[in-house]
Amino acid sequence: QAKAVGRNTLRFFDPEMQAVVTSRAALEAGLRRAVTSDEFLLYYQAQVDGQGHLTGCEALLRWQHPERGLVAPGEFIALAEDTGLILPLGRWVLDAACTQLAQWATRPEMAHLTVAVNVSVRQFHQADFVNQVLTVLDSTGTNPQRLKLELTESLLIGDVEDVIAKMSILKEKGVGFSLDDFGTGYSSLSYLKRLPLDQLKIDQGFVRNILIDPNDAAIARMVIALGDSLGLAVIAEGVEIEAQRDFLARLGCHACQGYLFCRPLPLDQFEAFVRRV
Which stretches of the chain bind Mg ion, using CB under 5 A?
A: 118, 150, 180-181, 237
Q: Is 153 in the site for ligand C2E (CB under 6 A)?
A: no
Q: Is 240 in the site for ligand C2E (CB under 6 A)?
A: yes
Distance CA 155, CA 123 (A): 10
Q: Is 93 in the site for ligand C2E (CB under 6 A)?
A: yes
- Closer Cβ to ligand C2E, 21 or 121, answer by number: 121
Q: Is 178 in the site for ligand C2E (CB under 6 A)?
A: no
In this structure, how many other beta carbons lie within 10 angstroms of the beta carbon of residue 68?
Answer: 11
Q: Is 180 in the site for ligand C2E (CB under 6 A)?
A: yes
Q: Is 253 in the site for ligand C2E (CB under 6 A)?
A: no
| The one among 56, 76, 104, 181 contacting ligand C2E by CB under 6 A | 181
**238: partner contacted, choices Mg ion, ligand C2E, none (Cβ within 5-8 A by kind):** ligand C2E
- Closer Cβ to ligand C2E, 172 or 259, answer by number: 259
- Closer Cβ to Mg ion, 30 or 89, answer by number: 89
Give Cα 75 to chain centroid, integer Å: 15
Distance CA 24, CA 18 (A): 10
Give, in order, the Cα–Cα distances in Å from 226 to each of 160, 199, 205, 232, 272: 20, 11, 18, 8, 36
User: Mind giving me the DSSP string for 242-276?
Assistant: HHHHHHHHHHT--EEESTTT---EEHHHHHHHHHH
Handedness of CA 136, 116, 192, 187 (dihedral sign): negative
Q: Is 234 in the site for ligand C2E (CB under 6 A)?
A: no
Q: Which among 206, 270, 212 is positioned nearest to 239, based on CA atoms?
A: 206
Interface region with ligand C2E, contact rule CB under 6 A, candidates 10-18, 185-193, 222-230, 234-242: 234-242
- Residue 258 Ramachandran class (φ > 0 left, ψ -120 to 50 alpha, else beta): left
Binding mask 56-85 for ligand C2E (x = CB under 6 A): ----xx----------xxx--x--------
Give Cα 54 to chain centroid, integer Å: 18
Q: Is 179 in the site for ligand C2E (CB under 6 A)?
A: no
Distance CA 77, CA 180 (A): 15
Q: Is 204 in the site for ligand C2E (CB under 6 A)?
A: yes
**114: partner contacted, choices ligand C2E, Mg ion, none (Cβ within 5-8 A by kind):** none
Residues that bind ligand C2E (CB under 6 A): 45, 60-61, 72-74, 77, 90, 93, 118, 120, 150, 180-181, 204, 237-240, 258-259, 264
